[in-house]
A = this chain, B = another copy of it.
Amino acid sequence: MEEDTGVLPRKESFSEWYNEVLWRAEIMDVRYPVKGLYVWYPHGFGIRKRAYGILRDLMDRDHAETMFPLLIPKTEFMKEAEHIKGFEDEVYWVTHGGTSELDVPLALRPTSETAIYPMYSLWIRSHTDLPLKLYQIVNTFRYETKHTRPLIRLREITSFKEAHTVHATWEEAAAQVEVALDLYKEFYDSLRVPVIISRRPNWDKFPGADYTIAVDTIMPDGKTLQIGTAHMLGDHFSRTYDITYEDANGERQYAYQTCYGISERSIAAVISIHGDDKGLVLPPEVAPIEVVIVPIIVGKRRDEVLAAAKGLEEELRNARFAVKLDDRDMRPGAKYYHWEMRGVPLRVEIGPRDIDANTVVAVTRTGKKITLDRRGVVEGVNSVLAEFGEEMGRAAHQAMADKIVVAATLEEAAAAVKTGVAVVHWCGSQECAEKIEAAVDASILGSDIRSDLITVSDGPCIACGGKGTSALVARTY
């Protein structure tokens, strides 16, 4: 739309960089006239579309997709006491239809437990109906009073993938939470986003859950971003919404449930983890354009070069690459700038010299230049892209490893969280958590850590000296 020619802030000024890259790379427009609501530009939505395609394929292996209504009657919403307490300040209420007041106000779902579980109560009769594993990708709403931020803290979460499962036993439900975490790990592996999985402290769990296990990544500024959660609901909701089944002995039992979700924070992570001073850097798996072809046009061989570029485009498209020929009447340098900002993994240049030599020049988004044989171009592009994706993964993994510091004292932890995450020993008590949080000026993120970046151990709590185990302390988004 508007062509931008300005300069992006350096990525080390992360907050400014993030805000600027969102519009310069055409991810989100923040000028929509309501706080906390943003517009997806087509390029940003293209990333979302590919990423959620991956997520859908993962879910479809073992879940069925469905869709429940956005509007939840107040009467249903108010049934589960803990759950309401967690959300009551954040819910948008529809009170009028046309000019008349509604008899029962309707909540815009902040999450769908209270919409889905009354139906589960109708659907589940027998143990043969279990397990039930459904998911939906929908918009949800939170009346955020804190500072809002595109893709990260929103009033309309446009892309909430929420799964809701029902099981016969507590153990099966607990096992499903682990299955969910494996799926999420696999999802973020495709996005080349390194994650740390940990169990949230009890006071930070999902309202109404037995426990919550979360997936976090570390942003360039060292703050953690929660990019996925899995909740063990036990039988709290099944008792409230009367979700029971007849077991093999003909006895009625309460069911056990889980729910787990991922939002467009996943896209925020891709952008933030991989981007650089020139703009986005997209993993080939989620790039709306994987390859851009830039013809290098020299006066008299113009038609020949354009024809060669079109031939190349067609060949790559037939090989199922997301390819774009940029034949605009502009300097190549301006085109490079344009596509680098938008994160296109590979640029292929073709000019008279390449035609003569029967080659093309491939340049990755991070500047690696490879001359490819024109005849084997599909294989060549394929292997350059595969290697590029792998390299992105390694670089992101290293960058994240560099942000994790093992801290033996409160002072070391306080220093560590200025640029990353501290791993400390903690006894698990809320009292010590409060002491640590006050001294370090950061939060206890979680314990029971699963990450190939962190070696977990037992040791004395850094607050009380009692028996402790590894926990994460971080500033969080």
List the interface of chain A (C-beta within 8 A of B).
Answer: 1-2, 29, 31-34, 37-42, 45-46, 48-49, 64-71, 73, 75-76, 88-99, 105-106, 108, 115, 118-119, 122-125, 129, 132, 134, 138-139, 143, 145, 155-156, 158
A76 touching B33, Cβ below 8 Å: yes
Closest to A158 in B: B67
Complex CA distance for A95 and B94, rounded to whole angstroms: 6
A118 touching B2, Cβ below 8 Å: no
Complex CA distance for A132 and B124, rounded to whole angstroms: 48
- 10 shortest A-B CB distances, which residue pairs? A97-B143, A42-B64, A37-B69, A89-B98, A93-B96, A40-B67, A1-B123, A95-B95, A92-B94, A45-B66
Which residues on the B side are within 8 Å of A119 (C-beta)? 29, 31-32, 39
B66 touching A39, Cβ below 8 Å: yes
B95 touching A91, Cβ below 8 Å: no
A69 touching B122, Cβ below 8 Å: no
Which residues on the B side are within 8 Å of A105 (C-beta)? 96
Known: A29-B119, A90-B97, A93-B97. 5 other contacts (CB 8 A): A1-B123, A31-B122, A90-B98, A92-B106, A97-B143
Closest to A116 in B: B39
A95 touching B98, Cβ below 8 Å: no
Closest to A68 in B: B39
Q: In the assembled complex, how far is the CB of residue A447 from the closest CB belonging to chain B, in whole angstroms? A: 32
- Decide: A67 near B45, CB < 8 A? Known: A106-B34, A122-B31: yes
10 contacts between A and B (CB under 8 A): A32-B119, A33-B76, A34-B69, A34-B106, A70-B156, A89-B98, A92-B96, A92-B97, A92-B106, A95-B96
A94 touching B94, Cβ below 8 Å: yes
Which residues on the B side are within 8 Å of A139 (C-beta)? 70, 138-139
Grouping DSSP codes into helix (H, G, I), strand (E, B) and loop, the A interface class, with mixed when no group exceeds half, is mixed
Closest to A96 in B: B93
Closest to A288 in B: B64
Which residues on the B side are within 8 Å of A156 (C-beta)? 69-71
Complex CA distance for A139 and B89, rounded to whole angstroms: 24
Which residues on the B side are within 8 Å of A1 (C-beta)? 123-125, 129, 132
Q: In the assembled complex, how far is the CB of residue A125 from the closest CB belonging to chain B, in whole angstroms? A: 6
Complex CA distance for A98 and B141, rounded to whole angstroms: 11
Which residues on the B side are within 8 Å of A76 (C-beta)? 33
Complex CA distance for A156 and B72, rounded to whole angstroms: 12
Which residues on the B side are within 8 Å of A138 (C-beta)? 139
Closest to A76 in B: B33
Which residues on the B side are within 8 Å of A71 (C-beta)? 34, 37, 92, 155-156
Complex CA distance for A26 and B185, rounded to whole angstroms: 33
- Between A69, A94, A139, the greatest number of chain B beta carbons within 10 A of the residue's beta carbon is seen for A69
Which residues on the B side are within 8 Å of A97 (C-beta)? 90-93, 143
Which residues on the B side are within 8 Å of A88 (C-beta)? 98-99
Which residues on the B side are within 8 Å of A134 (C-beta)? 42
Which residues on the B side are within 8 Å of A99 (C-beta)? 88-89
B108 touching A98, Cβ below 8 Å: no
- Decide: A41 near B66, CB < 8 A? Known: A34-B73, A108-B94: yes
Q: In the assembled complex, how far is the CB of residue A30 from the closest CB belonging to chain B, in whole angstroms? A: 11
Closest to A155 in B: B71
B89 touching A32, Cβ below 8 Å: no
Closest to A87 in B: B98
Which residues on the B side are within 8 Å of A94 (C-beta)? 92-95, 108
Complex CA distance for A40 and B64, rounded to whole angstroms: 11
Q: In the assembled complex, how far is the CB of residue A271 from the closest CB belonging to chain B, in whole angstroms? A: 16
Which residues on the B side are within 8 Å of A96 (C-beta)? 92-93, 95, 105
Q: In the assembled complex, how far is the CB of residue A34 from the closest CB belonging to chain B, in whole angstroms? A: 6
Q: In the assembled complex, how far is the CB of residue A129 from the closest CB belonging to chain B, in whole angstroms? A: 6
Q: In the assembled complex, how far is the CB of residue A151 from the closest CB belonging to chain B, in whole angstroms? A: 12
Q: In the assembled complex, how far is the CB of residue A97 from the closest CB belonging to chain B, in whole angstroms? A: 3
Q: In the assembled complex, how far is the CB of residue A412 from the closest CB belonging to chain B, in whole angstroms? A: 40
Complex CA distance for A41 and B119, rounded to whole angstroms: 10
Q: In the assembled complex, how far is the CB of residue A292 from the closest CB belonging to chain B, in whole angstroms? A: 16
Which residues on the B side are within 8 Å of A48 (C-beta)? 67
